[in-house]
Amino acid sequence: MCSNVVVGLPSPPNLNGTLSSPTPTNTSNAKDGDNLVMNHTGVGGGYKWRLVIAYDGTRYAGWQYQSSPPTIQCFVEKVLMQATKLERKDLSLVGASRTDKGVHAWGQVAHFVTPFNYDSIDSIHAALNGLLPSDIRVREISPAVPEFHARFSAKSKIYHYKVYNDTFMDPFQRDYAYHSAHKLNPAVMREAAKYFIGKHDFSAFANASQKERVRDPVKNIFRFDVIEMGALLQLEVEGSGFLYRQVRNMVSLLLQIGREALPPYVVPMILATRDRRELAKYAMFAPPHGLSLATVKYNEEHLRLPSGCSTTSFGRHYTIGSCKLPFY
């Protein structure tokens, strides 16, 4: 059990005996690695938890909180409030990526805080997935060190964009891949994608967004792969961060190049202009349903488990006991 319980914290709700009651502890003696977080007044008083979340974004207005139309964050906060009996402001839920309307995720990461500790997190994990709609699932839940921040601690993010390249659309792929009936040339798309790799000013590939309070247009792209899987093309891009709709705008240009309507060297020419209007002359819109957030990467020190805390929950497997009826 974590040793950083703070004097005067409220008693936790009873969830099948999985929560530990707060016992008076002098927080000045807290050791490195204890799961202590600071509240808004600077006083120690909570535990931080990391979530890995998968969702089908088809019917949601993105990740970022808003009550109507509903968002992923809205639903996750709602079930956390039910499971923990805490208010939204006390949970302080933060996501790593503010995915747009219709965009999916396999590896969205978020964190929240509670004023109490869980001796075992399997029960709350099961409770969250039992309360969430079937198109949102918590894949993992684990204790987090105080320094961990789902958004600001992220080292890189990996997005996938799927393109189904055939004369007709596979009906089983229609919600998760963009259909291109134009025959694409993956080789020239790979050649063009290499121009994105490295540190560049991506102003020409960013849409204006009121949500971006501090907008640094310089991003570092580590890799941009074009992978062929039969009729399906998967474009995988990893970067230090991305501007609003940057990935989809890069994909839209690669699609035009793949149709051989444009040469690969148009990429650095558009990058150099730093003008979104220049991209609009060449590329069309890439719809959101082909895009998914695959992974968010962190440094090891941010992912280590606090000493003495419960281990990561990946969910429970259920088994059927041996049949005790006699066989004839």
HEC string for 94-133: EECCCCCCCCEEEEEEEEEEECCEECCCHHHHHHHHHHCC
Q: What is the domain-level CATH number for residue 262?
A: 3.30.70.660
Q: Is 100 a catalytic residue?
A: yes
What Å distances lie between residue 285 and 161, 249, 290, CA to CA? 13, 7, 12
pLDDT at 45: 63
pLDDT at 210: 55
Return mean pLDDT, the chain: 86
pLDDT per residue over 79-118, tens digit each? 999 999 999 999 999 999 999 999 999 999 999 999 999 8
- DSSP code of residue 325: S
- Name residues whose C-beta falls within 8 Å of residue 196's C-beta, 6 or more positions apart in sequence: 221, 224, 237, 250, 267
When pLDDT is averaged across residues 251-261 and rounded to a whole number, the result is 98
Peptide bond connecting 263 to the previous residue in cis, omega within 30 degrees of 0: no
CB-based burial, 24-47: b 16+ in 10 Å, e otherwise: ebeeeebeebbbbbeeeeeebbbb
User: Domain residues for 117?
Assistant: 42-152
Q: How many domains does one find in the chain?
A: 2
8 A C-beta contact, residue 35 and residue 117: yes
What whole-number distance in Å separates Cα of residue 220 and Cα of residue 240? 5
Residues 181 and 280 occupy one common structural domain: yes
Name the domain boundary from 134, 152, 170.
152
Name the domain boundary from 102, 131, 152.
152
- Name residues whose C-beta falls within 8 Å of residue 201's C-beta, 6 or more positions apart in sequence: 217, 218, 271, 274
Position 322 confidence tier, pLDDT thresholds 50, 70, 90: low
8 A C-beta contact, residue 188 and residue 199: no
Catalytic one of 32, 34, 56, 100: 100
Residues 287 and 167 occupy one common structural domain: yes
Given a cut of 50, is residue 15 above it in pLDDT? no
Identify the three-state secondary structure at position 195: helix
